[in-house]
Amino acid sequence: MIKVITYGTYDLLHYGHIRLLKRAKALGDHLIVGVTADTFDRERGKINVQQTLMERVEAVRATGLADEIIIEEYEGQKIDDIRRYNVDIFTVGSDWKGKFDYLREYCQVVYLERTEGVSSTEIRAEKRSLRLGLVGESPILGKIAHESGFVNGMEIGGVYTINDSCLPDKLRLLSKATLSFDALMEKSDALYIISEPRLHYDQIKQALLRGKHILCESPIAMRVEQWRELTDIARRQGLVLMDSIKTAYSLAYYRLRLLAKSGIIGDIYSVDAPAPASSTSTPTGWATSCCPSGTAFAPGGRRPCCPSTSSWGRTTARRPSPRTWPKTIPTSTSSPRFRSSTRTPWPR
For residue 345, what pLDDT is reported? 56
- DSSP class of 286: B
Contacts 24+ apart (CB under 8 A), 76-85: 77/34, 78/5, 78/7, 78/34, 78/103, 79/103, 79/106, 81/5, 81/32, 81/34, 82/5, 82/106, 82/107, 85/3, 85/5, 85/32
| DSSP run (H or E) holding 232 | helix 224-237
User: Residue 53 — φ and ψ, nearest 5°?
Assistant: -60, -45
Reported as a single tens digit per residue, the pLDDT across 99-133 is 999 999 999 999 998 765 555 555 555 556 788 99
String of DSSP letters for 19-58 = HHHHHHHTTSSEEEEEEE-HHHHHHTT-----S-HHHHHH
Q: How confident is the model at residue 331 (pLDDT cuts 50, 70, 90)?
A: very low
Q: What pairing do the DSSP bridges indicate for beta strands 30-36 and 89-93?
A: unpaired
3-state SS class at 7: strand
From the list 47, 53, 248, the residue with the least C-alpha distance to 151 is: 47
Specify whether the CB–CB gap between 315 and 296 falls below 8 A: no
Give the lowest-confidence range in 174-183, 194-203, 210-219, 339-348. 339-348
Q: Confirm whether pTM is higher than 0.85.
A: no
Reported as a single tens digit per residue, the pLDDT across 203-260 is 999 999 999 999 999 899 999 999 999 999 999 999 999 988 777 767 678 778 888 8
Task: Report d(CA 131, CA 124) in Å as an integer.
Answer: 15
Conformational region of residue 87, where left means phi above 0, alpha means psi within -120 to 50, and beta covers everything else: beta
Task: Give me the mean pLDDT over the 298-317 stretch.
Answer: 36
Task: Report d(CA 242, CA 218) in Å as an integer.
Answer: 10
Does position 318 have pLDDT exceeding 50, yes or no?
A: no
From the list 49, 207, 192, the residue with the least C-alpha distance to 120 is: 49
Task: Give me the mean pLDDT over the 183-208 stretch.
Answer: 93
Specify whether the CB–CB gap between 86 and 28 falls below 8 A: no
Q: What is the rounded average pLDDT for all residues in the chain?
A: 77
**Measured in whole angstroms, how far is the alpha carbon of residue 134 from the centre of its chain?**
17
From the list 99, 45, 46, 35, the residue with the least C-alpha distance to 70 is: 35
For residue 115, what pLDDT is reported? 65
3-state SS class at 162: coil
Helices (H) and strands (E) in the chain, counts: 11, 10
Task: Give me the mean pLDDT over the 337-344 stretch.
Answer: 42
Specify whether the CB–CB gap between 189 and 130 falls below 8 A: yes
Task: Give me the mean pLDDT over the 297-320 stretch.
Answer: 37
For residue 257, what pLDDT is reported? 82
| Alpha-carbon radius of gyration of the chain | 26
String of DSSP letters for 184-229 = HHHT-SEEEEES-GGGHHHHHHHHHHTT-EEEEPSPS-SSHHHHHH
| Bridge partners, residue 132, by sequence | 156, 190
